[in-house]
Chains A and B, each alone.
Chain A
């Protein structure tokens, strides 16, 4: 048996090993932002609805660490995370919202139906901020410290068990 003839078998076994291993773990679909542990980029977004201020980078600097919540009224998981954002607000967390590709009437309709945990909501009509922070979908939530640095990224809707985790991350960032 020549060694040469074993090469295809070795290559195949290598592939089978990797593929078998991959099958045992859940398929990773989230695309983590590379901006974590970096400064929140400069931005300035107009208000997403009348009666509430818009959002800019300056709003994050100073005071306590804050949450940056990227959401939209057309996004179904955002409805699911609304009560948990409400709880975070009750815990004294300041949440600044970014409404992606949204209309003022739709935003206010969503808020009156599912509650308004936000102190400010910026309108991101062209995913400007979303792309700037490396978000790949809605909803996503970021922990921003008092120096304006991104400390943690949460991909997808916030479930009940994520609330304490986020509080912890806010604590760490403080």
Chain B
């Protein structure tokens, strides 16, 4: 609740700590530099929005000034540039950090309920609607 109360605090802590401490080390080449090829850059941006900044509370690496997020952006861009696919880059990171690093859960032994429950929900919704709305015949003002 209270979206952004005392709250934004935490990112900023991440933001300042390192930035202040690391007195002027230049960021990785592709941390703040876009790829020349617009299509590849679009792919990188899309991917970066779905990767979690590990030093932040709950932000993607595309939304963070944390130096480590910058270094991860560099990895994403340079790997795409080297010809890897977006999925390969994501896999490379999940091999190291587990599912936590990706905001895009995939079906696995730990995440299957995330996919099973919506399907169940879909069936349930269908059932509820069928029961409430399906029976055209019973619409006469049934005894309340």
Residues of A within 8 A of B (CB): 31-35, 72, 74-76, 101-103, 106, 125-128, 130-134, 136-137
Q: How large is the interface on B (under 10, 10 to 19, 20 to 34, 35 or more residues)?
A: 20 to 34
Majority SS at the chain B contact face? helix
A136 to B98: give the CA distance in the assembly, Å.
12
Contact A74 B23 (CB under 8 A): yes
Closest Cβ of chain A to B21, distance in Å, is: 4
> Which stretch of B1-9, B41-49, B66-74, B135-143 is in the interface?
B66-74
A125 to B75: give the CA distance in the assembly, Å.
13
The chain B residue with its CB closest to the CB of A106 is: B23
Closest Cβ of chain B to A128, distance in Å, is: 8
Contact A101 B96 (CB under 8 A): no
The chain B residue with its CB closest to the CB of A136 is: B54
Closest Cβ of chain B to A2, distance in Å, is: 13
A128 to B72: give the CA distance in the assembly, Å.
9
A-B contact count (CB 8 A): 64
Residues of B within 8 A of A (CB): 18, 21-23, 25, 28-29, 31, 54-55, 67-68, 71-72, 74-75, 93-98, 100-101
Contact pick for B22, options A32, A101, A137, CB 8 Å: A101
A-B contact pairs, 25 of them (CB 8 A): A31-B54, A31-B97, A31-B100, A31-B101, A34-B96, A34-B98, A75-B21, A76-B21, A101-B22, A101-B25, A101-B67, A102-B22, A126-B28, A126-B31, A127-B28, A127-B68, A127-B72, A130-B71, A131-B71, A131-B96, A132-B96, A134-B96, A136-B54, A136-B55, A136-B68
